[in-house]
Amino acid sequence: MKIHLQTPEEIRPQIWKELGRASLDRHHEWRTPVLASADTDGLPDARTVVLREVDAVAGQLTFYTDSRSPKVAQLQA
Ligand SMILES: Cc1cc2nc3c(=O)[nH]c(=O)nc-3n(C[C@H](O)[C@H](O)[C@H](O)COP(=O)(O)O)c2cc1C
- Which tens digit of pLDDT belongs to each residue from 1-31? 899 899 999 999 999 999 999 999 999 999 9
Residues 6+ apart with CB under 8 A from 38: 44, 45, 74, 77
Enter the DSSP assignment of 66: -
Q: Which ligand 1 atom sits closest to the C-alpha of 70?
A: 27
Phi, psi of 67 (to 5 degrees): -60, -20
**Mean pLDDT over each residue of the chain, to the nearest integer:** 97
CATH assignment of the domain containing 60: 2.30.110.10
Beta strand spans in the chain (E): 34-38, 44-48, 53-55, 60-62
Cα–Cα distance between 75 and 67 in angstroms, integer? 11
pLDDT of residue 64: 98
Task: Count how many domains the chain has.
Answer: 1
Tell me the pLDDT band of 53, cut-offs 50, 70 and 90: very high
- Ligand 1 pocket (Cβ < 6 Å) reads 32, 45, 47-50, 63-65, 69-71
**Ligand 1 atom with the shortest distance to the CA of 52:** 8
Instruction: Judge whether 2 lies within some domain.
Output: no
Q: Tell me, what's the pLDDT at 47?
A: 98
Sorting pLDDT into bands at 50, 70 and 90, what band is 36? very high
Find the 37 Cα to ligand 1 centroid distance in Å.
13
Query: Does 1 map to a domain?
Result: no
